[in-house]
Structure 1
Amino acid sequence: MNNENIIISESNRPYWQLIIAAALFTLSLAFIVMLFQNIDLENKGKRLAGNIELILILFLLGTTFCSQKRVYLDLKKLKIKASYEVGPIKIGRWQPIKNSEYVSVFLRPKSDGSTVFEVNLWYERVKHIELYERDDYMDAFKIGYNISEKLNIDLLDATVPNESKWIDKNEWKSKINEQLS
């Protein structure tokens, strides 16, 4: 990571999801072609609306199977942008990072019974931005540590419910260096 920007990205989508997305996009394109070939100007009402609705549903489903979330941190300008991306199309807007206080790493239960480690940037006392989500503790913690270092703010380990603790980043850094040696 460089000194001015950080890009946090979800892992790439599995190939099976990309194949489903391609099939859904192909179906929506096929329905668009059929719609224009069989356009009936005298009887367009409900059939036209139904076809357009089906095309939109197929397109949106395809988008969900191939979209990717990225978070961009511009440390020089102190701005952040959460972005959802499909290929070159990026949807998101830059927001200033105001009064950043700390980065937290915590364990969040999911609706299916599994858990993930989530990294959040907390600012203005009670507001936060979800930066990263991963199944692996060390992966999430390294991201949280790097962001807290770049922003020169504290790091909170909240992975054990009701036992949150502030991390001594110098101690943690030396442990990581020992593991790499």
Structure 2
Amino acid sequence: MLFYIFVLMAIKTDLIIEEPSKPLINRVVVSFIYALFFTYTFYLLKYKNILEHPEKHTILVLLVLLLLIIFFSSFMAIASHSIHISLQENKIQHQYRIGRFRYKEVWQVLKDIEYVSVYKNSGYYLVNLWYEKNGILNLMALKDYELSIEKGLFIAEKLNTDLLDAREKGYNKWINKAATKQQGKIVYF
């Protein structure tokens, strides 16, 4: 399971959770892999004359397959993900960014938002949005418990829903948002 650390922003009536940009070394390594692939393909086409080879269709299919494998295996190493939630319309949109290129998914309606939860998994505290009975949207993964509760509280406030502290398995507690905000420490119901 992959974990992402997101930066949280609120712009008027929208909530944007954005993953930090990927390190430069990721882009350099992926660029080097693509350069190797295209150099090898050029070499096969120009010097080995694979277009006249008796098994040219098999070779071309394998090259396309290799290109797809490289693309799908390297995409998340260089792409940054963000989640845009429109609070007025109760809609969500995922966006992926590689450099200046952006891919935006179609807006989807968030039906029946139930609650926001914070739980611990493999050393990370995950902040999730639960909707439509058992639908789960992983919003962010943080290493600090206090920060994850703070971000979960912020998101629960914006979505006007409850916050569940589920970091201990089998011991789930609902957080009193108003009292927690007022006292500056976690208060449970």
Deviation readout 1:39-62 (Å, 9 max, x if unpaired): 543222222222222233233333
The one-letter amino acid of 1:90's match is Y
Task: Give the secondary-structure state (helix, strand or coil) at the position aligned to 1:80.
Answer: strand
Which of 59, 76, 100 pairs up with 2:71? 59
Q: Aligned in 2, Cα 1:120/1:50: closer, same or farther, shift over 3 Å?
A: same
1:140 aligns with 2:152: no
Deviating 4+ runs (over 4 angstroms): none
Structure 1 residues 3-152: aligned runs within 5 Å = 3-34=12-43, 36-38=45-47, 39-43=49-53, 44-87=56-99, 88-90=101-103, 92-109=105-122, 115-152=123-160
TM-score under structure 1 length normalisation: 0.80
The one-letter amino acid of 1:151's match is L
Q: Verify the 8 A CA contact 2:114 2:162 in the aligned structure 1.
A: yes
The one-letter amino acid of 2:14's match is N
Q: Aligned in 2, Cα 1:144/1:129: closer, same or farther, shift over 3 Å?
A: same
Task: Give the secondary-structure state (helix, strand or coil) at the position aligned to 1:145.
Answer: helix
Range with greater deviation from structure 2 (37-46 or 4-13): 37-46
Q: Verify the 8 A CA contact 1:3 1:75 in the aligned structure 2.
A: no
How far apart in 1 are the matches of 2:23 and 2:146? 22
Ranges in structure 2 where 5+ consecutive residues have no aligned partner:
1-9
Q: Aligned in 2, Cα 1:123/1:57: closer, same or farther, shift over 3 Å?
A: closer
Give the match for residue 112 of structure 1.
none
How far apart in 2 are the matches of 1:23 and 1:50? 20
The one-letter amino acid of 1:156's match is L
How many residues get paired?
A: 172
How far apart in 1 are the matches of 2:36 and 2:74? 10
